[in-house]
Structure formats: structure tokens, C-alpha cells
């Protein structure tokens, strides 16, 4: 049985896993990495592969990283959180690990993980929407990862949903990410908490400071039935479902998988998302509609997907 190594390069840590052909994770490790030092990150990746390779017979390495990866799955053209610019990551890593390497956008890798072994495994066409700090996406079309002409498809967080809307870190205004991400949930909740007496429970849990409310606290309060927290998640779900409806007008996927940290709120988030989606999707009654389901691989989707892509 062939084993490959999946690597997920985040802003502050790097995860590595040994993954079997059926998606099983045999071993998992995580190290801290300094985002500002591109050499150090490559050293850390090489170290992780060497360490895991000392206990497992690896046949390849798949690396997922936030950023624009060229369509040859080789060069990191640009990474928002790491100081990589036109970095020939594949070549560097192959030379140092003596293993075949593929590089992939991290949301693409996660999409592939969910497609191959997770919530999308019964479908040929999948849209993954990751709701974490930002909003990312990955698309599988007819059993193949969809990268677009220049390798940068599925940047769904940067569809414009509000003309003249909130400023986005990308330099434009009104991007979906500003309304439907974990950071947007925090902003919306803290703003509402400043004036809504119903926020008392949540504010008290944050030591009396609305600005100290966390995403975990919102989800926890919602699970306990707190009406204010439920409203905040529902507000996020509305933007998310409406955004997905627009994406589906373009993509027509077989299933929509919601991943990322905020998706752990489960149906508390997904039910309002589904309601807004049903309300806004085109063609209800005249066409099959995709289900909206929760991701099942959690944080491992990226390493599992990257590892599997290394086989292809």
C-alpha cells in the first residue's frame, strides 16, 4: 500500500500527516513556523517530511498553501500570509526530500480531501466553502480538481456581494468574505452586542467587554439556546446562503460542503444558510438543487487532500 505525506502550510503552523490510499491518517504532526521567513518554512517542511519518512515509506509529498499556485502545481506565485513570491516550491522541495512533490492551493487541497474521502465522496462535482477567518473555496468538476486557466479559480470570498460595501483586505469593497466569514461574524456580533440588551449573556461571558467576544463563545452560547447568539449565526448564515446561491448560478455543483472553523457550529449555521440558499437560488422546481452539508474531515481535510493529490 502506497503512503504519501500531506503538508498544510498555515500562517503560524505547519501540519504534516502520513496518509494511506483510503484517506486514513496514520500519523499526524504539527510544528510552529515563522510566516515571515520563507526559508525557515521550507526547512520546517523538509524536517517534517524527513521525520515522518523515518517511520513510513513515503512515495510522494503534497503541499497545500494559501495563495496563488501556478497551474503546473509547482510555483507559489503569491501567498498573502507568507513571504513567498514566484517561489519554485516544488523544485526546491523535490531536491531536498528526494520525493515527487505537488503544490496546491490549501482550499483546493481541502476540497479534494472532502471530495475523495469526506462529505462529497458520493458526488462528481463539489463546491467546498471554507468559513474560517476568511472565506475560501475549492471546486471539483467531473472528478477533477478545478484550477482555472491560471491556477487561481474558486476565490469565492472575493465575489462582490454589496456594491460600495465594506472594505476588504484585497483592496476592493463589498467582498463576500466581509459578510460571511468568521471575522465578519465577530464584527457583526460585537457591533450588535454594543446596543442589543439580548447580548447580556454573551457579553458577561466575555468579561463584560463586547469586543472580547470570541467565535467559540458565540457557538457555545448558540448551542445553549441563547437567542442573541442564534440570531448572530443566522445573520451569518443568511449572507453565506445568499452568496452560495450566486456561486451556484455559475457552477451548478452536485453538493456544497461547508468547512472551516465556523462550520463546526453545524446546523445552527447550516439551517439558516440552507434557508437563504433555497430562497435565492435560481431555478427552484425546474432543476435538481445541490444539498448543503457540513464537512466531515475537519482540520484534516487539507493534509488528507494534499496527500492524495500527490498520487495523481
* Binding residues vs a second copy (CB under 8 A): 68, 77-78, 123-125, 137, 139, 141-142, 144, 146-156, 158-167, 170-174, 179, 191-192, 194-196, 242, 245-247, 249-255, 275, 278-280, 282-284, 286-288, 290
Q: How far is the CB of 5 from a second copy (least distance, A)?
A: 28
- Cα dihedral 281, 285, 286, 290, rounded to 10, equals 50
- Looking at the Cβ atoms of 27 and 252, the one nearer to a second copy is 252
**Helix pair angle (182-193, 227-251), 10° resolution:** 140
Q: How far is the CB of 300 from a second copy (least distance, A)?
A: 26
Q: How far is the CB of 143 from a second copy (least distance, A)?
A: 11
Q: How far is the CB of 136 from a second copy (least distance, A)?
A: 11
The CB-side HSE value for 253 (13 A sphere, CA atoms) comes to: 31
- Looking at the Cβ atoms of 174 and 215, the one nearer to a second copy is 174
Q: How far is the CB of 146 from a second copy (least distance, A)?
A: 7
- Looking at the Cβ atoms of 247 and 257, the one nearer to a second copy is 247
- Looking at the Cβ atoms of 5 and 184, the one nearer to a second copy is 184
Q: How far is the CB of 198 from a second copy (least distance, A)?
A: 9
Q: How far is the CB of 48 from a second copy (least distance, A)?
A: 27
Q: Judge contact between 232 and 189, C-beta under 8 A.
A: yes
Q: How far is the CB of 253 from a second copy (least distance, A)?
A: 6
- Sorted by sequence, the CB contacts under 8 Å of residue 45 that are 6+ apart come out as 7, 9, 14, 16, 63, 93
Beta-ladder partners of 307: none
- Looking at the Cβ atoms of 175 and 306, the one nearer to a second copy is 175
Please provide residue 158's backbone torsions phi and psi, each rounded to the nearest 5 degrees.
-115, 20
CA dist 18 and 263 (Å) reads 25
- Looking at the Cβ atoms of 44 and 140, the one nearer to a second copy is 140
CA dist 39 and 25 (Å) reads 27
- Looking at the Cβ atoms of 61 and 247, the one nearer to a second copy is 247
CA dist 219 and 57 (Å) reads 41
CA dist 179 and 246 (Å) reads 14
CA dist 202 and 219 (Å) reads 10
- Looking at the Cβ atoms of 132 and 174, the one nearer to a second copy is 174
The CB-side HSE value for 82 (13 A sphere, CA atoms) comes to: 30
User: CA dist 192 to 164, 184, 251, 261, Å?
Assistant: 22, 12, 34, 22
CB atoms within 10 A of CB 216: 11
Radius of gyration in angstroms for the set of CA atoms belonging to the chain, rounded to a whole number: 20
Amino acid at each position: 500500500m502506497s503512503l504519501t505525506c500531506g503538508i498544510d502550510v498555515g500562517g503560524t503552523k505547519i501540519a504534516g500527516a502520513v496518509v494511506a490510499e483510503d484517506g486514513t491518517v496514520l500519523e499526524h504532526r504539527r510544528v510552529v513556523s515563522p510566516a515571515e521567513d520563507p526559508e525557515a518554512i521550507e526547512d520546517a517542511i523538509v524536517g517534517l517530511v524527513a521525520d515522518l519518512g523515518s517511520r513510513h515509506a513515503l512515495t510522494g509529498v503534497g503541499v497545500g498553501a494559501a495563495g496563488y499556485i501556478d497551474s503546473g502545481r509547482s510555483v507559489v506565485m503569491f501567498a498573502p500570509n507568507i513571504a513567498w513570491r514566484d517561489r519554485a516550491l516544488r523544485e526546491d522541495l523535490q531536491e531536498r526530500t528526494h520525493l515527487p512533490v505537488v503544490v496546491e492551493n490549501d482550499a483546493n487541497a481541502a476540497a479534494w480531501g472532502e471530495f475523495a474521502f469526506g462529505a462529497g465522496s458520493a458526488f462528481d462535482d463539489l463546491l467546498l466553502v471554507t468559513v474560517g477567518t476568511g472565506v475560501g473555496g475549492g471546486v471539483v468538476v467531473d472528478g477533477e480538481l478545478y484550477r482555472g486557466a491560471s491556477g487561481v479559480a474558486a476565490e469565492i470570498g472575493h465575489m462582490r456581494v454589496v456594491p460600495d460595501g465594506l472594505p476588504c483586505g484585497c483592496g476592493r469593497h463589498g467582498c463576500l468574505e466581509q459578510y460571511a466569514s468568521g471575522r465578519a461574524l465577530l464584527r457583526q456580533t460585537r457591533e450588535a452586542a454594543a446596543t442589543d440588551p439580548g447580548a447580556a449573556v454573551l457579553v458577561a461571558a466575555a468579561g463584560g467587554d463586547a469586543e472580547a467576544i470570541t467565535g467559540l463563545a458565540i457557538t457555545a452560547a448558540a448551542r445553549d439556546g441563547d437567542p442573541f447568539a442564534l440570531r448572530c449565526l443566522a445573520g451569518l448564515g443568511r449572507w453565506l446562503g445568499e452568496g452560495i446561491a450566486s456561486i451556484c448560478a455559475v457552477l451548478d455543483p452536485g453538493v456544497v460542503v461547508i468547512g472551516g472553523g465556523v462550520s463546526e457550529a453545524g446546523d445552527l449555521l447550516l439551517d439558516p444558510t440552507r434557508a437563504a440558499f433555497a430562497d435565492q437560488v435560481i431555478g427552484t422546481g425546474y432543476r435538481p438543487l445541490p444539498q448543503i452539508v457540513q464537512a466531515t474531515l475537519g482540520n484534516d481535510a487539507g493534509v488528507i487532500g494534499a496527500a492524495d493529490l500527490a498520487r495523481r
